[in-house]
Amino acid sequence: MEQQKGKSPKESAVETRYILMPQHANPQGTAFGGVIMAWIDTVAAMAAQKHAGCEVVTAGIDSLIFKEPIRIGDHVVLKASVNYVSRSSMEVGVQVTREDPYSGQKAIATTAHLTFVALDENKKPTPAPPILPQTQEEKRRYENAELRVQARKELLKKIK
């Protein structure tokens, strides 16, 4: 098997924007969590696809934390980047920011960590390129992801 060239998190990072419309909201006029979750899964999958250069599948959502409400009319900015790669699996971090389109005021509304698996043409796990963190922030995210990966493995051992 040929050794794959590594990629920096910046090479596969994805950013997308939405406006929270009434059909995305709950009866309180704030974002319905399921809509935000779908947007997170979509942007994270795009980052994982860019990194792996192949089809990917969501293997799990490690954490999803709603910190601030997003109201109808707010702009929703989603940023995703690959934090960590093992063999075929990748951890992707997503930060969701709500932005007031008139004042420009911003707040982190949601954060999430998802695991994706790279797939070959037979839908079997295949190696993903190594991640090469460059900046201090990328290195911090990599180290934190390593801790989450280890914690997941330990938890799975305990609950089986």
Does residue 73 lie within any of the structural domains? yes
Does residue 4 lie within any of the structural domains? no
For position 65, what pLDDT does the model report? 95
**For residue 63, what are the β-bridge partners?**
113
| Entry pTM | 0.93
For position 160, what pLDDT does the model report? 76
CATH of the domain at 53: 3.10.129.10
Does residue 3 lie within any of the structural domains? no
Does residue 17 lie within any of the structural domains? yes
For position 110, what pLDDT does the model report? 97
Walk across the sheet containing 89-99 and list its strands. Answer: 14-19, 75-85, 89-99, 106-118, 56-66
Q: How many domains does the chain have?
A: 1
Does residue 37 lie within any of the structural domains? yes
The series of mean pLDDT values per 10 residues for the chain, 160 residues long, is: 77 97 97 97 98 97 94 98 96 98 97 97 97 96 94 88
Range of the structural domain that residue 122 is part of: 9-159
Does residue 107 lie within any of the structural domains? yes
For position 156, what pLDDT does the model report? 85
